[in-house]
Structure 1
């Protein structure tokens, strides 16, 4: 079953960019596009899409206002598009599955579609629910002739190494034959976030976030290591950290 998609953006070129990328993924089918929030609201009610790409800022009703006006049972999965990073928490509250900064690079766009495919089987059960439960609870890694089981809950960060990924857990490193692009789909987004093309971090390992002038950030982890978080991943990371802190209160 294909995932039915609607695009909502007041810029025709922005809609075209999404359409071109969607056409490369057989699992998705475009069923409608709209240039303003009011017509999008009516269109979504009529078409009942599974997924909507929404521009946050549009003339008249904004993308966030349009989504908020839909009852949770009527609200499709949403991927937000914006040139600004100040709407992350609102996106999280509306259960958006991703938040993409314009101009969107191809890898981040693919990450967002992967999240949609991951969440799609669970959408009918709870329309505005959290993303799907993680598929990975334990990593199986080779250590010479032995197979070592590394619980996902003990993994502090994961770094890309060509076709491999390096797991960092309890002061040890383990090499796993898997790309980060596939790993992030199988990890619980309430615990793990991709912060860069080359790194995934467990959220509760972040001790300090220092913004940089180019809208990237430096992350200092509790083990003393420092990682760079790129600007395209920052909105979703910021929202996830705010929610983590809220849950801890």
Structure 2
């Protein structure tokens, strides 16, 4: 439950809401005033405060009030949030001024900046000149169907196994021989042959040398589901017609 407005807020509500009266209230009272009766203020009254001499904190509160009024939203801003936004705003202004000054007068930049910011140091100047790019968010990994040829995919997988294997082990030599076979097939562009057996009958299916790994795996999966060459041919034709 929101706290009722204090006496300063009540007195401000009862006035004609001139911008001079708004400037006379502290930031916390101004926040309470806008929270309670933002709809009673017109745009000219709010903009009149912006063009008048005011502190950056008051400017932040007024700009938030204008934005809330434009979006037809209730005014929601605490004093801590206003102070934090003001600090960020002032830091950005200082950085932009420092960068502009350095770009036009690099030799005397520090002296020129100190005329506006007396406590400005070389360390602050160095930090202000560094452009920090926002870190890009990594896209969530989504497993996709491999578009590489079967032999290339197998070579990559075997290479990873070799890195983790003992060079003197039989597993290491087996991977070497398999990689050599795949490399030879790529060099000669030899077709990829698969032998299929059903009911004592055997038939060899040849695929293009650069067939995708996903297609070969799909074919092998179909051979395990069906029990005859006729069903295999029908399922394989259906797979291709589906555009996979």
TM-score range, shorter chain: under 0.3
Higher-RCO chain (CA-CA 8 Å, sequence separation at least 6): 1
Higher Cα Rg, which structure? 2
Q: TM-score under structure 1 normalisation?
A: 0.25
